[in-house]
Structure 1
């Protein structure tokens, strides 16, 4: 119950969209869908507990101390709770608002601030990331990463371990179509993202070539800006809106009928531009239009199936990237597409939709929880006996691959677009 004088239109503090807090009936059905609660078994690390915490902060019943900020920081933003919730609670909006409140009103420790500043200053800007990684690319070329790792401090070593071998981003590319698409074919644009275009650009290129081979007309963005997801997750809503405006302009100019991203987190961010920019008359209509055009690669390819592929005999398991499954509700389309490949056997893994711990930059700022979840995910993958684990998000790919490399597992982690390209050769 709110304190006297506190109403749904007059909370003491602007923590989040206060009225949305009352959608939660505190049934607790979200708890077992929450990765952090599954690990800690702490009520304040469950969605219900965090909603109660947000409400208490908004009503002035508690202060924003280190403990309160910690429970909010530990949320992965995976939205598994939204899938489980029978009341339709918009938890994603609530946690993003709460994190913005934390960033405005809480001073973190020096090391935490440095880590978050590094992520914010580098990751959304591909040219900065390329420049930073250029020396490491040379190190990988001459095979000296193990030696470099041995002399690095633990924090830098943990970050290094998450990076894929930079000289090995050589996934087989799907063959470029020999004929151009019809002029009246649906136009599709692939948003190349920020980190993805540096560390996993084969996934973008393969997406475009597979879609072109299926008869779609591929159009390009004149300029690609970060989708804003990293900022939304970390509480920097102002810069997220800047990125959203830039993307809305570029997407409108492209004339695309459908928008695809190889990163499911980017897809969800773009799908929510309509809500993010709803109060800006100059952008609101175009933002809603962009949001309505977001599709996923597997659904588009199922709508225009390719010719039967050659046999590609292997066993695979499929990991549901959080934002694809919980944000866009896409689960069956990738499985149907994979099952259509002759020779492929799909083995379902337990907890396929439980977060792997990547969550954008979460594995950089919360390495302990991220590693616990990566270990849990890897245990489930190994138990399937699969040759490949296929997924639709590069962040998940880096996180799971790092853990499997640590175990010296031979299971290969492959993005859906890259796997389809491999199977089409």
Structure 2
């Protein structure tokens, strides 16, 4: 591997923040933390390889052809490489910039464009998603999903498998109406876009558990997408629009802390300060909002919340990528789970290796997503756990689909929903 240059000229293409590319010293320590490199063992599917690719594109040494785009597309954006990197490379910023460059300058095939435009047009808008899923709610209530699945082409079956049962009522934590002290911190739960349609119990249970711990919970009148889906797919213009709307709403809530049931949303909001640093009107507010992002387990531990019921089961914990690598939160969820009487916590092998969900990645890159999902579930099944607890609805859908394919008794469940089961002493399987 050649030595990195000590100086550099100006790029001829605006691929990404060119100066950030030179933070990489090409040591290769990121490789084994990269899910796609672990799966393919190809250098160009490693963070180091993709950084070489971005640099070559920026300097005009490489054309933006289908092969180059393929290596960039295959990145999950999980940021496992950032945790492993000794040089502090901001890989997330680099890959998001490169993807925006791809979307501006590369024409994809018809089917790929259709798939990506469908995700882009529907997923960030809860009302559109509800309208699209309305017929499937009827199908689920009539118990006809297996029949529907049997007649669909494989690609559509894979998409269908990722959808949780629709129209079902999920257990909610008791609404304890705990009287909060006048000086108690206020918390707002950002309900997101996909989460409020497919996993709203996770939002509601987060709010109820926080209220039970003594926090004053504020509610936003309206929630728009955090912008993460657009940042990951190269639509930076709309991501900025969403970010500005959220900064105004979150600032207006007056909350001391901001929580999301989706770790990808939490990380996106935590990076609003960087995203909007050139916005003359909102830069300061964006930094303030970003600094208030917390996670559910950290807040519950800070409030010294303790469960009042015993709940006997074995659990393992999957580290959602953006919670672990984006926000650096690993121990708090484990500490919270271990504090529950009757819970036996078993550590998961490769717990922080991406499960293949990665926002809409499992829809746009189903083959790699399935391979990573199988690897993740192999490790989960080996623990013998009753539950695999996690902090991101996308991870839940991805892992639950693979567990169901194997007829496994292990249940994938969000931390907030698991705490609701504990509070209700309702060991649902």
Q: TM-score, normalised by structure 2?
A: 0.96
Q: CA deviation at 1:153?
A: 2.2
When residues 148 and 395 of structure 1 are mapped into structure 2, their CA distance, relative to the original with a 3 A threshold, is same
Cα offsets for 1:75-133 (capped at 9, x unmatched): 00000000000000000000000000000011111111001000000000000000110
Say whether the 8 Å CA contact 2:306–2:339 is kept in structure 1: no
Q: Which residue of 1 aligns with 2:270?
A: 271
Say whether the 8 Å CA contact 2:263–2:320 is kept in structure 1: yes
* Partner-residue secondary structure (3-state), 1:128: helix
RMSD: 1.3
Say whether the 8 Å CA contact 2:177–2:211 is kept in structure 1: no
Say whether the 8 Å CA contact 1:9–1:19 is kept in structure 2: no
Q: Is the counterpart of residue 338 in structure 1 residue 337 in structure 2? A: yes
Say whether the 8 Å CA contact 1:16–1:98 is kept in structure 2: yes
Match runs of 1:1-16 below 5 Å: 8=8, 10-16=10-16
Q: Which residue of 2 aligns with 1:55?
A: 55
Q: Which residue of 2 aligns with 1:150?
A: 150
* Partner-residue secondary structure (3-state), 2:324: helix
Match runs of 1:208-287 below 5 Å: 208-287=207-286
Q: Which residue of 1 aligns with 2:116?
A: 116
* Partner-residue secondary structure (3-state), 1:421: helix
Work out the CA distance in 2 between the residues paired with 1:294 and 1:343.
Answer: 31
Q: CA deviation at 1:158?
A: 1.3
Q: CA deviation at 1:139?
A: 0.2
Q: Which residue of 1 aligns with 2:391?
A: 392
Work out the CA distance in 2 between the residues paired with 1:375 and 1:41.
Answer: 17
174-183 or 43-52, larger mean C-alpha shift: 174-183
Deviating above 4 A after TM superposition, structure 1's stretches of 4 or more consecutive aligned residues are: none
Work out the CA distance in 2 between the residues paired with 1:308 and 1:387.
Answer: 19
64-73 or 180-189, larger mean C-alpha shift: 180-189
Q: Which residue of 2 aligns with 1:87?
A: 87
* Partner-residue secondary structure (3-state), 1:316: strand
151-160 or 388-397, larger mean C-alpha shift: 151-160
Cα offsets for 1:260-313 (capped at 9, x unmatched): 000000000000000000001101000000000000000000000224421100
Q: Which residue of 2 aligns with 1:23?
A: 23
Structure 2: any 5+ residue segments left out of the alignment?
425-429
Q: CA deviation at 1:178?
A: 2.9
Cα offsets for 1:247-269 (capped at 9, x unmatched): 00000110010000000000000
Q: TM-score, normalised by structure 1?
A: 0.97
* Partner-residue secondary structure (3-state), 1:374: helix
Structure 1: any 5+ residue segments left out of the alignment?
none
Q: Is the counterpart of residue 368 in structure 1 residue 338 in structure 2? A: no
Say whether the 8 Å CA contact 1:8–1:18 is kept in structure 2: no
Say whether the 8 Å CA contact 1:99–1:233 is kept in structure 2: yes
* Partner-residue secondary structure (3-state), 2:167: helix
139-148 or 150-159, larger mean C-alpha shift: 150-159
Work out the CA distance in 2 between the residues paired with 1:260 and 1:179.
Answer: 19
